[in-house]
Structure 1
Amino acid sequence: MTGGRVPAAGAGPEPLDRMAVSALTWLDGMRPCFRLPPDVTTDADPNTTLKPLGELAELSHLIRTHHPLPAVRDLADGLFRFAWRETGDGELFGDLIRGEPRATYPVELYGVFAQTGLSHPGVEELVRTMTGLRGWRVAREDHTRTLGVLNAERRIGLRHHADFDAVLAMTGLGRAVEPWTLDRKAAYGVTHDVFHLTDWGRAPHRMPADRAEYLRLWIPSWLESWLEEELWDLVGELLAVAACLPAPVPDAAAWRLLAGAQGADGAVPEIGAAPPPGTAAAEAFTACYHSTLVTAFAATLARIGPTRPAGPTAGVRRPVLESEAAS
């Protein structure tokens, strides 16, 4: 295990803040790797171009809105604004929708920004037209992904194309699958069930009591397994899930180990040890960007705990602020 950032007192506010600041500082320095290529709407792989930018927007927005420290909020705010500019202030989503009318990812990505009040009139019209088509309402095999689409529809202000609770019931979380059967893919499925259900921790009240108890009982065991594997990305997601519950489940030991995996530069490797010094920026980015983002996100949720906003209005679309419109 590498690093040297192990906090002596567990997951208290100061160690969590240090982890968040360090992670966001590294991410800020990696802006060139988040930039979209010229062929983003044609030949580029969305999983290596749009997906990282969308994840940056999703998690930096929560941090900029909810972290108690101004310095952390400012770092996250800069990253969120950068992500919006990379989309051409939303124009990119119109090109994506016209190119792939039945694809869900343009709507999911647009929903991240629409939730904050940022919008593009042409895209709004396209989204409403496209999501009203019969083809949009077909059943999807990936129920976790469907929850993400439904959450995006809510963020944009669209009518749900399917019943959220019925879809949730088909997921790993909804079925409360036998906890000892979770492999890596299934574990990521459960974490994202939680994120879509609670709007990434903004609405813990949406978590059914029996599913909250299921997670409370089994997160410690899952954490132990993935800590042993040094799969820091999934460890971070599980710590975020623990903080998403109506009554957060702290795990100071897991936080100490995750802090120990964070390098002096703030990067957290997805698995195992950090890339060695001298690693090319693009390679280090691929190995660390998501787990570093997740660490900042989880540290923010753990930091605010039960004080975070919750209720029927959490995550509702709001008007654009003048400062945002001008940026």
Structure 2
Amino acid sequence: MTGHTGWVTGDPAAPASASWASFLDRMVGDSLEWLDAARGDFRLPPNVTTDADPNLTLKPLGELAELTHLIRTSHPRDELRQVADGLFAFAWNETRGAELFAELIRGEPHATYPVEIYGVFAQAGLRNTTVEQLLAATTGLRGWRVTRDDHTRTLAVLNAERRIGLAPHADFEAVLGLTNLGLMPEPWALDRGGAYGLTHDVFHLTDWGRARGRLPRAQADYLRLWLPAWLENWLDEELWDLAGELLAVTACLPAAPYDPVAWRRLADARRADGSVPDRGAGPPAGDRAATFTACYHSTLVTAFAGTLARIALGAVEGDTRAQVHESEATR
């Protein structure tokens, strides 16, 4: 059975599944290869804790840590896990054993991004006593509990608090109910900003695809119905970054459907070096700084989405084989 863009929800154990697994592995591998070659562009500048723009410095490094951690622990292919592990270790080294976070927290006690970024390292078992003492103090302040306008961002903070072991400053379910995912707005009214927010609602709820079972039935049905149309729309706009995030969300659904048409279109958007521009063809070749800015996130998202799709494909294959074996045993 297929959807608007070609969802495959039939027997995943068909011979084509092996070729799709190989295709996804190449997508992840090419993306990781480009990211590995771009390590220098992820390095933090000396003024990172003072007047550097965190959106151009800490945000890329935090995203590198978040998504490579998932790949290093979850991808079925050992060689791809190793590349992701090297990138994750690089990100940790850039934090100077988390001393960076202590400086950031002292400078901005109410800032959420140090907590969000530190959370993924804490989840990996990389902890710093000084940072955690500071966090215990700052997250216990009344100011930390002031309601944030961006409810999706609040979910990110709550997920980080859970990872670190801090007391949650708000009720996760209550905050989720105020987001695009929780409210399930009219699908035709979902604009680009809302779509990005919705994808991250899913990521924070499921801990970036690790806990797909947390997705409520109503929201899963809503996404299953409308994701194909949204994907088709933003693929037509050549907004590859958002298309990749929507493919990652697709892989978080129960019995995750697989959209070969959308994946082929995303694959066709890749540049010769394996990078994926955030939109269109990206900047001209040779402009390293512009290429990094335009490609790092969408390339990371491609590797992340490919990993989730690969895990989901293997999980459904395993379920199908188990059902076949059980059927044979009862004959």
Q: What TM-score results when the alignment is normalised by the length of structure 2?
A: 0.89
**Structure 1 residue 244 displacement after superposition:** 1.0
Question: Which 4+ stretches in 1 moved above 6 angstroms?
Answer: 8-11
Tell me if the contact between 1:101 and 1:130 (Cα under 8 Å) persists in the aligned partners.
Answer: yes
Q: 1:111 to 1:36 in 2, by over 3 A?
A: same
Deviation per CA, 1:249-299: give whole Å up to 9, x if none. 211100000011112211000000143332x21111001000000000000
**Structure 1 residue 219 displacement after superposition:** 0.3
- Is there any run of 5+ residues in structure 1 with no aligned partner, and where? 1-7, 309-327
Tell me if the contact between 1:16 and 1:299 (Cα under 8 Å) persists in the aligned partners.
Answer: yes
Structure with bigger RCO (C-alpha 8 Å, 6+ apart)? 1
Name which of 106, 121, 126 aligns with 1:113.
Answer: 121
Q: Is residue 304 of structure 1 aligned with residue 311 of structure 2?
A: yes
In the aligned structure 2, how far is the partner of 1:101 from the partner of 1:306? 43
In the aligned structure 1, how far is the partner of 2:143 from the partner of 2:77? 45
- Which amino acid in 1 is paired with 2:32? L
Structure with bigger gyration radius: 2
- Is there any run of 5+ residues in structure 2 with no aligned partner, and where? 1-15, 316-331
Q: What is the match of residue 86 of structure 1?
A: 94
Q: Is residue 188 of structure 1 aligned with residue 196 of structure 2?
A: yes
> Where in structure 2 are the equivalents of 1:245-264 lying within 5 Å?
245-264=253-272
In the aligned structure 1, how far is the partner of 2:247 from the partner of 2:211? 17
Q: What is the match of residue 295 of structure 2?
A: 288
The size of the alignment, in residue pairs, is 300
In the aligned structure 1, how far is the partner of 2:192 from the partner of 2:257? 21
Name which of 23, 26, 35 aligns with 1:27.
Answer: 35
Name which of 121, 133, 146 aligns with 2:154.
Answer: 146
SS of equivalent to 2:93: helix
In the aligned structure 1, how far is the partner of 2:196 from the partner of 2:18? 25
Deviation per CA, 1:134-176: give whole Å up to 9, x if none. 1111111100000000000000011111000000000001000
Q: What is the match of residue 145 of structure 2?
A: 137
> Where in structure 2 are the equivalents of 1:1-327 lying within 5 Å?
12-278=20-286, 280-305=287-312
- Which amino acid in 2 is paired with 1:229? E
**Structure 1 residue 9 displacement after superposition:** 8.7
Q: What is the match of residue 3 of structure 1?
A: none
Q: What TM-score results when the alignment is normalised by the length of structure 1?
A: 0.90
In the aligned structure 1, how far is the partner of 2:74 from the partner of 2:195? 26
In the aligned structure 2, how far is the partner of 1:178 from the partner of 1:190? 13
**Structure 1 residue 212 displacement after superposition:** 0.3
What's the C-alpha RMSD, in Å, of the aligned pairs? 1.4
**Structure 1 residue 247 displacement after superposition:** 2.3
